[in-house]
Structure 1
Amino acid sequence: MSEITNFRGETLAPDPDSRGEAAVRALILRVGERVRKARELKGIPRRVLSEVSGVSPRYLALLEAGEGNISIGLLQRVADALDHRIEWLVGEDDPWTSEALRVAELYRAAPAEVRAQVLDHLLPQPEATARRHRIALIGLRGAGKSTLGARAGAALGLPFVELNREIEDQAGMPVNEVMAFYGQEGYRRLEAQALGRVIATHEAMILAVAGGIVSEPETFKTLLGNFHTIWVKAAPAEHMNRVRAQGDMRPMAGNPEAMDQLKFILTSRETLYDQARAKLDTTGRSVEDSLADLLALIRERGFLS
């Protein structure tokens, strides 16, 4: 941008509006160039990209020429059609040469175990050691969290705590009454408070949490940061059968679509549960075998080292 002077020859500060317009113009040009280059590298004609993204050929032509002031919604469609994340198109770093973006793509594609190891290396030491010797079992009811948690705690000499029991002690009533009296929002608030108390009072423990804790971002973030988390999982049919074997017929009572709903919950939460540092599949395994698997996993991953 050229300097602006007044009649005395003094340099004036650039007009903020001009700086803003220049930044917007640079962004539009950058996005257009990256869309064009990504399309050409994939060998996709503009007509095909239009059909896949639902964005008109004329709009795409303007975009690639740096003339199209495309909306975020339409740009997301174009990014999806090119199999790229939207930030890849708008970020200041060159996506073809940026090591940071390359590392980010590799991290997203890596298994949960690899991502956990990467975080261990990258996180500052105080955060990396914040989990201490705390282990949390997450997953849907019926996977075996309570049974395995209690037995593992006994085998390892660690206290075992169920977070719902902590909530009940705090509220002075069973969880189902907490839900009826306080509602979902009140329950989640009590859950966050109970988790904070557990962290403050235990440096070594095994904790079992309710399956829905992953739906509360801040509480789940606290859990991930302060515990070595293990996703205890099982096939949907085993989840249902184990709950019924415990004498709880509520999942099936008057609800012929209960299995479909269970599968939907598992699918919708899978990416959240997958953030756990390790997984334990109890499908087709006896309690004794699953306990041996859990203890071996804790030992191999060094959660108590």
Structure 2
Amino acid sequence: MPASSISQRLGKKVRQLRLKRGSSLRDIAEEAGFSSRFLVEIERGRANPSLLKLNALAKSLDLELGELCALASPAPSRQPIALVGLRGAGKSTLGQKLAQSLDTVFVELDAIIQAKAGISIAEIFELEGPEGYRRRESIALDCWLQENQEGVLAVPGGIVNSAESWERLLEKCCTVWLKASPEEHWNRVAAQGDTRPMAGDPGAMGRLRSLLKERTPAYRRAEIHIDTRRRTPVSCLTELENSLRSTS
């Protein structure tokens, strides 16, 4: 492959990663220890940075050098991608970034359920109970799978409690388990401003640990496992893209 082509692909990847991270040219250049002008030249495919500078650039993007230099583009998905895991695993954040990277649609199954029901998820549980919610979940999943041959779908963590729906996901989708520790699930939900599951309940963390332990055997059946603990969304996205290429 010509050196110019490699430089152009590297530059395009650096720009995409920087924009996904929400960083300016100046921010990344300062973290990497070189000028904004040099970073512009890298992104335009006109520079030939040394390994030392590439390593510094990778660190400024929260990546390892090997992750930055993996230049192959993600293969287009031949089937829908379903992200699973407990609440706070990062399904919405990573799902949106993955869909943008693959130039496809991202949707949350709960949003489809609410749209079809015309009421909130909380109201469904209150009026119809867990069984009513699972029925609606199954119908919404069937409809989405029939209408979409590709796309990124974030599914509720409890979908594994419905054997039929879970088996359908495993059959029809490339399933991805986003793993996190109970503490990180807890902290991420709280960071979103929702402290209701924990407020005034000293046993909440214990139940969260038990829930994760109970569901882990089912989650392990997913085709791809991404450990999100103490990692940035960009780093997780890079690993997921690489995993999708290797399974395509």
TM-score of the two chains, using structure 1 as the length reference:
0.55
| Structure 1 residue 182: Cα displacement | 1.3
Moved over 2 A (4+): none
1:282 maps to which of 219, 225, 228: 228
| Structure 1 residue 132: Cα displacement | 4.1
| Equivalent residue number for residue 92 of structure 2 | 146
Residue ranges of structure 1 left out of the alignment (5+ in a row): 1-130
Which deviations, in whole Å up to 9, do the C-alpha atoms of 1:180-238 show, x marking residues without a partner?
11111100000000000011100011100000000011111111111010111101111
Map 1:94-105 to 2 at 5 A: none
Determine helix, strand or coil for the equivalent of 1:204: coil
- Asked if the contact 2:79–2:172 (Cα under 8 Å) also holds between the matched residues in 1, the reply is no
| Equivalent residue number for residue 169 of structure 1 | 115
- Asked if the contact 2:109–2:156 (Cα under 8 Å) also holds between the matched residues in 1, the reply is yes
| Equivalent residue number for residue 246 of structure 2 | 300
Q: Distance in 1 between matches of 2:177 and 2:205?
A: 21
- Asked if the contact 1:143–1:232 (Cα under 8 Å) also holds between the matched residues in 2, the reply is yes
Which deviations, in whole Å up to 9, do the C-alpha atoms of 1:97-141 show, x marking residues without a partner?
xxxxxxxxxxxxxxxxxxxxxxxxxxxxxxxxxx94211001101
| Equivalent residue number for residue 259 of structure 1 | 205
Map 1:1-305 to 2 at 5 A: 132-302=78-248
- Asked if the contact 2:134–2:162 (Cα under 8 Å) also holds between the matched residues in 1, the reply is yes
Determine helix, strand or coil for the equivalent of 2:198: coil
**Larger relative contact order (C-alpha < 8 A, sep ≥ 6)?**
2
Q: Distance in 2 between matches of 1:158 and 1:296?
A: 17
RMSD: 1.2
Q: Distance in 1 between matches of 2:244 and 2:99?
A: 11
| Structure 1 residue 166: Cα displacement | 0.4
Q: Identity, % of aligned pairs? A: 44
TM-score of the two chains, using structure 2 as the length reference:
0.68
Q: Distance in 1 between matches of 2:241 and 2:134?
A: 30
Which deviations, in whole Å up to 9, do the C-alpha atoms of 1:138-160 show, x marking residues without a partner?
11010101110011001111111
Q: Distance in 2 between matches of 1:132 and 1:212?
A: 26
Q: Distance in 2 between matches of 1:237 and 1:301?
A: 31
Q: Distance in 2 between matches of 1:154 and 1:292?
A: 13
| Structure 1 residue 251: Cα displacement | 2.0
Residue ranges of structure 2 left out of the alignment (5+ in a row): 1-76
Q: Distance in 1 between matches of 2:247 and 2:91?
A: 18
Considering only CA atoms, is the larger Rg found in Structure 1 or Structure 2?
1
- Asked if the contact 1:132–1:227 (Cα under 8 Å) also holds between the matched residues in 2, the reply is no
Amino acid at match of 2:196: R
| Structure 1 residue 287: Cα displacement | 1.6
| Structure 1 residue 265: Cα displacement | 0.4
Amino acid at match of 1:151: K
Amino acid at match of 2:225: K
